[in-house]
A and B are shown apart, each in its own frame.
Chain A
């Protein structure tokens, strides 16, 4: 089945620790996105990448880092600089024709909590 796979489903972070959330897609999509979902806040864009080896900051990039070495993969690292990391993290991708009419495909999310 084509889709987006996020892992792990649940992740716990200790103080001062960096953690990495995985996002893999086999949809051959060029564009990939990371969103953070907090109760009552909706989804906020952290980082996005429109092509391999290139990415841009979203609205709340501070304390996060990403890489896009392969088209299929867009891992997100939550660094120790992110003081409030507890949230539900959603990865999404969008394919060809995104400038006109495509839609986002979402993964099932990773719930990150601080110990």
Chain B
């Protein structure tokens, strides 16, 4: 079975700082990778996803993620964060492209200080 590990449970940054949230997964085969965000009091929303092709994926709100197959990683990045990026971020993997759901990491709580 696949698993997802997010390295940082809590991250505090100042506005305009650069962000990188780590995500590693364990699965030897083909994977689809996702980052979801949950703003305070709101639904989970898809930030970006990787299925194939260019390993550098761009998502909404200036976020991007890079799939490094050799490292089983899919880290999320943003060059300059804003106060409105304060949220919970979840990395998820779908192994083999099937419909048996996603496996989520435990989440990273990001707080941006003005």
Interface positions of A (Cβ within 8 A of B): 30-31, 33, 35, 40-45, 48, 50, 56, 58-59, 90, 94, 98-101, 103-104, 106-109
Contact = CB atoms under 8 A, between A and B. Distances in A.
B97 A107 contact: no
Given A43-B92, A98-B98, 18 more contacts: A31-B99, A40-B9, A40-B106, A40-B107, A42-B4, A42-B105, A45-B102, A45-B103, A48-B100, A48-B101, A50-B100, A59-B1, A90-B44, A99-B99, A103-B49, A104-B102, A106-B44, A109-B43
Contacts, number: 56
Contacts of A106: 43-44
B99 A42 contact: no
B39 interface: no
A-B pairs, top 10 by smallest CB distance, nearest first, are A42-B106, A43-B104, A42-B104, A106-B44, A98-B99, A31-B99, A45-B101, A42-B107, A48-B101, A103-B46
Interface of B: 1, 4, 6, 9, 34, 43-44, 46, 49, 51, 90, 92, 97-107
